[in-house]
């Protein structure tokens, strides 16, 4: 079983990887952080808080995910002609 310190380190590592990956596609989530309460729990898994962002950032994130879905996960992108 992981200690509370190990859980925090694990969550910080995942958060850092996510931050770096988002930076690679020009996206910054200004409120990205580790949820300290979840790291202290011995029951629930540590959580990374994505936080709030402005509409431009949300749209850029959406665009990146849609592009990824079209190329790397065929059949998982938005449906053509959907309204």
Grade residue 4 by pLDDT with cuts at 50, 70 and 90. Answer: confident
pTM: 0.76
51 CB contacts (<8 Å, ≥6 apart)?
A: 29, 30, 31, 32, 33
In the predicted model, is pLDDT for residue 78 greater than 80? no
pLDDT of residue 70: 83
Question: Once rounded to an integer, what is the mean pLDDT over residues 6-30?
Answer: 92
Average pLDDT score over the chain: 85
What three-state secondary structure class fits 25?
coil
């Amino acid at each position: 079983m992981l200690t509370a310190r190990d859980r925090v380190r694990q969550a910080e590592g995942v958060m850092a990887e996510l931050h770096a990956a988002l930076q690679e596609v020009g996206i910054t989530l200004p409120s990205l952080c580790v949820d300290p309460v979840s790291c202290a729990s011995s029951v629930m898994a540590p959580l990374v808080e994505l936080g709030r962002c402005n509409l431009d950032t949300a749209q850029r994130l959406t665009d990146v995910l849609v592009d990824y879905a079209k190329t790397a996960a065929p059949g998982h992108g938005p449906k053509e002609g959907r309204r």
